[in-house]
């Protein structure tokens, strides 16, 4: 029997991503995501609820999220659900649901982004806008 544990969430970051490293040097970034749902009830009243999710990214994705994202950014997260359970010394049981991100993408619904590229000659990051200016000036060939 096959099992499926995959989800997509579109929402806004509730805090700046926080990066940490394991003892082995693996990057882990934690982010909060708010997902709003809006609808109109039968009487015509506009309603809204907000669901909050804890998102964890690992390795290069973690480093890229921490370096480029900030609170309020609208992102699309593709990932899977993890349930962590434990019991404290008094015997009280706890459960935490967390989302592990496989992909985090900036939403262009309300924002504009600049794509950066790595210049192979001098390893300098330049924006797409800057490189097109250089191309027009004839100082760079592709």
pLDDT digits (tens, 9 = 90+) for 43-75: 999 999 999 999 999 999 999 999 999 999 999
Residues 105 and 141 in one domain: no
CATH number where 31 lies: 2.40.50.140
**Does 73 share its domain with 134?**
no
- Res. 110 pLDDT band, cuts 50 70 90: confident
Please state the rounded mean pLDDT for residues 22-51: 95
What percentage of residues in the chain have a pLDDT greater than 90? 70
**Above 80 in pLDDT, residue 115?**
no
Taking residues 2-19, report their average pLDDT.
94
Task: Based on the fold, state whether residues 57 and 83 are members of the same structural domain.
Answer: yes
Same-domain check for residues 123 and 137: yes
Residue 116's pLDDT is 66
* Residue 48 domain-assigned (yes or no): yes
Please write down the HEC assignment for all residues of the chain.
CCCCCCEEEEEEECCCCEEEECCCCCEEEEEEEEEEEEEECCCCCEEEEEEEEEEEEEHHHHHHHHHHCCCCCEEEEEEEEEEEEEECCCCCEEEEEEEEEEEEEECCCCCCCCCEEECCCCCCEEEHHHHHHHHHHCCCCC
Average pLDDT value for the chain: 84
Model confidence pTM above 0.85: no
Looking at the structure, tell me whether residues 39 and 58 fall in a common domain.
Answer: yes
Residue 126 has pLDDT above 50, yes or no: no
- Asked if residue 22 has pLDDT above 50, the reply is yes
């Amino acid at each position: 029997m096959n099992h499926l544990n995959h989800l997509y969430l579109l929402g806004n970051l509730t805090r700046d991503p926080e990066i940490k490293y394991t003892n082995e040097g693996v990057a882990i970034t934690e982010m909060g995501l708010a997902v709003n749902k809006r609808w109109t009830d039968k009487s015509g009243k506009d309603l809204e609820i907000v669901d909050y999710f804890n998102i964890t990214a690992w390795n290069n994705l973690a480093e890229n999220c921490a370096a480029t994202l900030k609170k309020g950014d609208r992102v699309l997260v593709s990932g899977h659900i993890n349930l962590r359970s434990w019991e404290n010394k008094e015997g009280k049981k706890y459960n935490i649901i967390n989302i592990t991100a496989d992909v985090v993408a900036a939403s262009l619904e309300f924002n504009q982004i600049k794509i950066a590229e790595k210049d192979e000659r001098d390893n300098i990051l330049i924006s797409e806008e800057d490189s097109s200016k250089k191309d027009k000036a004839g100082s760079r060939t592709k």
